[in-house]
Amino acid sequence: MTKDKRVLVGMSGGIDSSATCIMLQEQGYEVVGVTMRTWDIPSHFSSPDQEQPNEIIEAQHVAARLGIEHHVADVREEFRKVIVQYFIDEYMKGRTPNPCVLCNPLFKERILCEWADRTGCQWIATGHYCRLEDRNGLRYIITGDDPVKDQSYFLWKLPQSILKRMLVPLGGMTKEEVRNYLAGKGFEAKARGGESMEICFIDRDYREFLREHCPDIDEKIGPGWFVDSKGMKLGQHQGFAYYTIGQRRGLGIALGEPAYVLKINPEKNTVMLGNVEQLKTEYMLVESPETPDLDELLACPDLSVRIRYRSRPIPCQVILLDNGCLLVKFNTEASAITPGQSAVFYDANRVLGGGFIASQQGIRKISAENSYKFDKKNGQI
């Protein structure tokens, strides 16, 4: 078979990647599988003497049953240095990381492309719930048909060089349809399997993970102060890294009314608390934007943005600041803007790009100084 019909599939041994392999085989592709060993979690080993985690063994079984070539890529050390360290570093900066967003371009899809070249495959394929569309020489990510499983939010950082090699056969299906398809192909037990974790290297509270992999975190940070919006001390907290914007539960302080984390100041080790109304905002700063066509994003008349996974898209307008950041004006108020999370921009169901939510320090002054640009954009001046 020619190289242009040879595809490398990232196999986790689960429902989605298994269905992807079968579908591509039915479409006439010669499928090659690769499973990345990224992070070993004890619960992923069924017996003490087991040399490889369950997902690798499952993927090997599926590959053998389908008669496809299969490889294991042991990338644990690189994964620790690139993804896990980023996760830790972000919390140590008072931010809330998006490890899956960074993992796709910097790690998983990049490694898939490297292994595709190594194994003579033209294409790479994943079990993501999204679709792809070519327009004006560019490839865009389109939301998946299953709104519950849509994963377009996590893929905004993928470059054109990767997108143009990708196949995502599950994008037009719901999760239930994929399960039924897999069962119909004789994989009944697998079709009834459970879902994988959203963050693949954490199987417990992230605070425990931070303490385990950064043993001196409590010495580096130590207890700090909860403060109100005027800077008045309300009580002590465990350390800023253990909190995130919008958090209400697990604060360990009683104020007589519901309190939410409004801001985190890592320099002062303070965590600002307030009421739910104080979480709301009309503006947001986004740093390090990436988009197939920046001019299209800035000019889009029906632009919307998602500020966290599973959040509803919020209609908005965007201008580019001199420092390269985007200033976003929400058409309706948004809540709990969280630095470190992704802001992903859409034109209906098409991803126009994204960026990381920046520190909102000085947002009132910045928005006031640039409000005339939105007025000019809307033809009001």
- Confirm whether residue 13 is marked as ligand binding: yes
- Confirm whether residue 14 is marked as ligand binding: yes
- Confirm whether residue 367 is marked as ligand binding: no
Active-site residue list: 103, 200
- Confirm whether residue 10 is marked as ligand binding: yes
- Confirm whether residue 11 is marked as ligand binding: yes
- Confirm whether residue 127 is marked as ligand binding: yes
Contact 60, 37 (CB under 8 A): no
- Confirm whether residue 235 is marked as ligand binding: no
- Confirm whether residue 172 is marked as ligand binding: no
- Confirm whether residue 222 is marked as ligand binding: no
Q: Which residues are annotated as part of the binding site for ATP?
A: 10-17, 36, 127
Q: Which residues are annotated as part of the binding site?
A: 10-17, 36, 127
